[in-house]
Amino acid sequence: MINHKNLTTQVKREENSRRWFLFDAAGKTLGRFASEVAKVLQGKHRVDFTPHADTGDGVIIINCEKIKLTGSKRARKLYRYYTGHMSGLREVPFETMHARHPTYAVDHAVRGMMPKSRLGKQQLRRLRVYAKDAHDLGAQQPIIVNA
């Protein structure tokens, strides 16, 4: 006889009910904060988590300009990108990038912690990042999280 209470459930895309979470980045450490956000985007915080299905929820991040970095990372951290041309490797210090694009550091950290697959790209579509404390997603009725 099969004990039906111990069977693993597989959630289908149609059965999934999405929620939106509001994360405040003010005073949070960048890496620890990004890992919590990535966990919610992937759906690992849910009881019905299914690795091959998109069971994640949406995330709204506010106050990205007030994110913290520990130690001397604020002065030493570099963001590198390649332009595609010869000797086109560019290095931008964190302070400069944060002054130009306050949301870049948080967005870059969360993207780096997501799976590099079609499923990861699909989950990243539900990430909204804002520099200040105002956002235009009130219709989603987000759940406020103190992560």
Which residues, given as ranges, of the chain have pLDDT below 50?
none
* Secondary structure of residue 128 in the 3-state scheme: strand
Residue whose entry in the numeric block shows the structure tokens 């709204």: 60
Of 73, 18, 75, 41, the C-alpha closest to 147 is 41
Please tell me the pTM assigned to this model: 0.89
List the chain domain ranges: 18-145
How far is residue 39's CA from residue 82's CA, in Å, rounded to a whole number?
A: 29
Whole-number pLDDT of residue 132: 94
Chain segment 42-83, per-residue pLDDT in tens: 999 998 888 888 989 999 999 999 999 999 999 999 999 999
3-state secondary structure (DSSP) of residue 80: strand
Q: List the alpha helices (DSSP H) in the chain.
A: 30-42, 73-76, 94-100, 104-112, 118-124
Question: Three-state SS for 141?
Answer: coil
Cα(80)–Cα(89) distance, integer angstroms: 7
- CATH number for 18-145 (one of 3.90.1150.10, 3.40.50.300, 3.40.640.10, 3.90.1180.10): it is 3.90.1180.10
Rounded to whole angstroms, what are the CA distances from 62 to 1, 40, 138?
A: 52, 16, 13
Q: What's the confidence (pLDDT) of residue 1?
A: 55
At 35 the pLDDT is 97
Structure tokens at 136: 């235009």
* Whole-angstrom Cα Rg for the chain: 18
